[in-house]
Amino acid sequence: MAEAITLRNIFNPDQIIIYRSRTEIRNKAQDTEKSSEIGTRNAAWEVDIVQRVLALEGVDKAHILYHSVPVSIPVEAQMMGVLNRKQVIYVLMDTKGKVLEASGLGFQGIVNFPPDSLNEGDHWVETSDVDLPGLPQPARHSRTFTLKGFEKIKDRDCAKITVTSEETHMELDAPDKSGKIQYRIRTSGEFLFAYKEGYLVKSTVDTHFTSGFGATVMEGNNRFSQELVEVKAQVPV
């Protein structure tokens, strides 16, 4: 059995880390009374994510800029509201992956690590709030992470971490207040984390959801994956 390891991000202001991300959305709507399909909505797009550490705060926090640079944003993705332009988000994060401040929406594909060292087979639970328009109060969503084993990826020793969640059920007010929308969500995925270098190498997270309003039911699966492209030194300004 491998020795116990401690998982944490290692923030280095001298480095820029670049990832290629891909988002795939596959949704379909059905009329349950007529047993017929109303329509489908599928799209996929790619974005480069550039992580740049601006400054360290103490020994366990970092001020980070994430630049999202479009690679391939097809028309169908733009029609769904995906922006075909560069975006920048500021984040204050600790070495365990907890986001303390953020200028935009949260990130997919990030693990919150436990404080203790881990052996293969150990697991930990993370609970977060899900807040959606029309929800009277945030719903609690729990994810279970497991250290499944170890792999060597891109010449780096990586911890293989899986994530699963129980289904979370939410009841939302319809936009016109004409009724309630039943919404269910669950997640699963896998992360490969270079635990010696302290950064993510590869991840895939699937979010499956169903929503129902009257006889209309929508079901979908959103997949977000990212893979390390390059780690390079920052150019002095």
Q: Does domain 15-230 have CATH number 2.30.230?
A: yes
Q: Is 159 exposed, middle or buried (0-12, 13-18, 19+ CB in 10 A)?
A: buried
Say if residues 35 and 120 touch (Cβ distance below 8 Å).
no
pTM: 0.87
| Model pLDDT, residue 108 | 47
| Model pLDDT, residue 39 | 85
CA gap 131, 105 in Å, rounded: 12
Amino acid type, 169: H
| Model pLDDT, residue 2 | 65
CA gap 35, 128 in Å, rounded: 36
Mean pLDDT per 10-residue interval, the chain, length 237 residues? 85 93 92 81 94 94 94 91 90 91 67 92 89 77 94 93 91 77 90 96 94 85 95 73
Q: Where are the domains of the chain?
A: 15-230
